Amino acid sequence: MLRLRSSVDAERAEHFRALLQELGGVRRVVQQPDEATATDSVVFVADVEPAAADRLVEAIAELGIGVDDYLLTRVEVVAPVRHHHFGGEDGIEGFAWVEVMGQARANSRPLARYLALIVVAAVIAALGVINSSAILIVGAMAVSPDLLPICATCVGLVGRRYALAWRSFVTLTLGLTLVVIVAALLGAALKGADLLPAGFTVEDSSLSNLAQTDYSTVLIALAAGIAAMLSFESRASAAVGVAISVTTMPASAYLGVALGAGGAGEALGALVVLAINVSLLILSGCATLLVQRWLTRRSGVVV
């Protein structure tokens, strides 16, 4: 459930109230004077179904209400528990394009926290490759935030916001490149300090299959893309991030270790795996969004 809070001048208050009452998916409209300002304004508060959010935002823009005069937030509903079905009067619970687009914009830039988490994940993953430790690889996948720019890229492509898609893809590319560089530097440093395991070669690592491509590579990446997009919409990205990073973080770290600790021949294979995985993640993520938008239109909600 979403919550709308808007301040409207008195001249447009009646029109705005009628709009909220007539718009499907908007309920429990409350109107009260805006006592926080000296102007003659009216504050409206209403509960909004996610499927109606896009129409509501468009209607607000048509009325000339500025972005600083309203706020749309998500509210966790404790009770009563309600169930919605396709084609019902209430539309589809949980999917609001305006909310997904907002999350995509927020995660499209290489913020300091994103880069810091990428570096931490790169160190853990590189050590996992060097020590043939699956536990460390899983730990690196849990830390890595690469799910966010991947999903933001999909949102930009499906929404035809190509500047957003490009910015998100550059952020993703920067993150994965940083993983390769950190892993390569760590591998080279350990090799120079003679701290690598005795007789270590990246080809003999138990994780050498990270540089190999087969049918499972394709299927896993496609499935991970679907999970990524659904988790991005439901804000469950922290829980699903491990499943997504299984297609990106291990191959990036393996590529870096191969370059830094010797084994350049294996690097090409890891690069191919990484490129295939990223492409399929974006493909299946976009397909998931397109199907959702089609189902939403079919239910009578315009997004």
Q: What's the pLDDT tens digit per position in 233-276?
A: 776 555 555 566 777 888 899 999 999 987 777 788 889 999 99
Q: Mean per-residue pLDDT for 202-220?
A: 79
CA 250 – CA 29 distance, rounded (Å):
50
Nearest Cα to 176, choosing from 86, 133, 220, 114? 114
| Segment 33-69, tens digit of pLDDT | 876 665 678 899 999 988 788 889 988 988 888 888 8
The residue that leads in pLDDT, 228 or 116, is 116
Q: Is 131 helix (H, G, I), strand (E, B) or coil?
A: coil
* Contact indicator for 147, 231 with CB cutoff of 8 Å: yes
- Examine the pLDDT at 141 and tell me if it is beyond 50: yes
Q: Residue 115: which pLDDT band, with cuts at 50, 70 and 90?
A: very high
The residue that leads in pLDDT, 80 or 151, is 151
How far from 39 is each of 4, 36, 60, 228, 234, CA to CA, in Å? 21, 9, 20, 46, 38
CA 26 – CA 72 distance, rounded (Å):
12
Strand bridging mode 26-33 / 41-48: antiparallel
**Tokens of residue 104, six digits:** 């995509």
Confidence (pLDDT) at 299: 59
CA 129 – CA 187 distance, rounded (Å):
10
pTM for this one? Answer: 0.78
CA 159 – CA 195 distance, rounded (Å):
49
Distance from the Cα of residue 13 to its chain's centroid:
37
Confidence (pLDDT) at 86: 40
